Structure 1
Amino acid sequence: QDDVELKQLSQVNENNMRLLKTDQANLKTAKIEFENAQNLKAQGVGTDTAVRRAELEMRRYEDAVIRLENEIALFDVKKQQILSRRDTHLSDLEIAAINLNRTEVYPPFSGVISEVLIEQGQFAQQGAPLVRLTDPARVEVPISLQLSDYLEVGSRSEKGEPVRVALAENETADPRWFSDPLDTVRQAPEADERTRTVKIYTEVNNLEQDVPLLPGTFVQARILGAVMKDVIVVPRDAVVEGTVFVAVPSTDTTSIENSSPSAQQTVVQRRTVELGRTLQSLVVIESGLQPGDRVVMTNLDVIYDGAQLKIDPDTGVRHLSDELARLRTPQVRIVDQD
């Protein structure tokens, strides 16, 4: 803009110089005509009207010459003003460029813009979000854990044990995505007082997945727990006030009435047990039972120590695998049945 004004000022000054020469020549002619009119009037052949007309014409050119001379004299002053203003504008432009560079926002990661929260030209308040950036290559998944599970995961991570999360579309579906080890993600510093859970955040690297996990997808997380070796577990319903009923072979050779030849004759033996960790509908027995013991699971309200039992080997025996099959979403699995 300043360069345009400077060019216009130079053009106006050139025009004024040409007009000044023309008006100076016209003024010289007007002065001669004014003198001639005065001489004719002095000789008695001229009129006052002719003299006044010649004088007005001369004065008009005198004013024009004076105005143009003043305009030309101010040219250098106006030019210097424009040059000074241009220098100021250039300085302001440099400062604005520096400030603009300071206002450029660089995201902490590469991604795509999934949502624009402000329009171009809109005034942005300090701290206001501008856009929402999504990294489709890595998706962070929040997982809510009970405090006991949270502490176990933290303990295993501190020991350097690999802890990975399998993610599925729902509780019954097979896992489709697998996360990075939990020791590489952040953990919430406090628990949620409403749900009484603690969140951990794991990441899924979509570059390593057969099917990418889309951000915002609801998933069901599964964390493989520690392996408990050589433990005995029974249904929690089989434990009554810290005791269980165990079916042991009967030493009485008297046949039970109406028993079939294939039926096993046993008696009930009450045993006090020490309970350990609870695993859904199961409980770990720390002591009181031995491998191979058969625990009574039905009619616990009527049986007693020493009562005789009749067990059908085809329908009256259940194993751990049968109990796990009854669970809708089992959180326990048998690693080795040998």
Structure 2
Amino acid sequence: MRQIILLLLLCFLSGCEKPISPPPIRPVRAMQLSSEELVRLYSFPGRTRAVDRVNLSFRVEGQLIDRPGSVGDEVLKGELLARLDPTDYEVAVENSLGNLEKAQADLRFAERDYKRAQNIYKEDPGAISVSLLDKKKEEKNRLQGEVRSLEAELQSRIDQLSYTYLRAPFDGMIVAAYAQNYEYVQAKQPIIRLLNTSQVEMVIDVPESLIGEIPFIEKVIVEFDALSDLQFPAKIKEIGTEASTTTRTYPVTLLIDQPEETEIYAGMAGSAVLLSGKPSELSEEGFLLPPSSLLADDTLQKTYVWIVDEESMAVTKREVEKGRITSQGVVIESGLQEGEWVVTAGVHFLHEGQEVRLQPVTLNASGEQVLVDEGSDA
């Protein structure tokens, strides 16, 4: 009887126990290693300037009578920017034209006179002396030279007249004006400063220890302090071949196209992020990871990361060898393979074998984590 009561009591107690629920699956941010992470990234400060920039001036002197362009105006190539009083130059053209016409008339007479003398000499050599014939020929040749000289002088006068018009050599924007209407200006005196802002340049200074990697740059991203939420692609235009004697850096000029959504002005301060391929003779092998993906053991002086198994979706701690630290992340020199998933955040809240759910991320040019699905910064 006592055994029956015990059996009933055990059955009753076992029926009251709640079923044990499985542990919740933890969502984690993780990135899949690919050859795109096999890069070296460098960030250099710089300042923009217009790709074409010029102080425009007249090639002749005179009184400024018209300056239709104002500071801030956008102008097209060939558009009139300023004009001098052309009166003196128009008079010079007319004077040269009159001298030329007179010389041309004298030349025509001399040519006919020389031709008549030749005909007479052929018919009757004794009727005209050889010296007189030579004299008429020399007169004709002299007048031919005088006509050529006056033609050149007339063209010069016409050119000087055209120089009283100052036109835009390219599409651009007027950013400064140095003379006002009715001022008497000298030749080569700056009148207007014009910038071509369809493209802008940024000059960065690259240390001599890194200049050898510039030919291996695969991508350039530029960010500006005034446009902090935007990134702009750029390309390398020029690489300086002479280092600064004080800083031992080389100037590298980048070219940036004007974006549609905003405008980049000359003089803006920013930074350029250069992504370089890994030439084995210049760069260490490794993958670039955010610092938040590393788990450090200060006692053993070791560094670990969590690897996610794609089949079981469980995490495993693995030791890795850490390389240099950059402003965009940490280079892992060994311990990882292409295609593996590495947890990039919340590594201190995981344990061996814990099942997780992936939230894929990637690194942008600044080293920030960006959710692949949402496209927002981590």
TM range, smaller chain:
0.3 to 0.5
**Between structures 1 and 2, the one with greater helix share:** 1
Q: Whose Rg is larger?
A: 1
More relative contact order in 1 or in 2 (CA 8 Å, sep 6+)? Answer: 2
Scaled by the length of structure 2, what TM-score is found? 0.35
**Between structures 1 and 2, the one with greater strand share:** 2
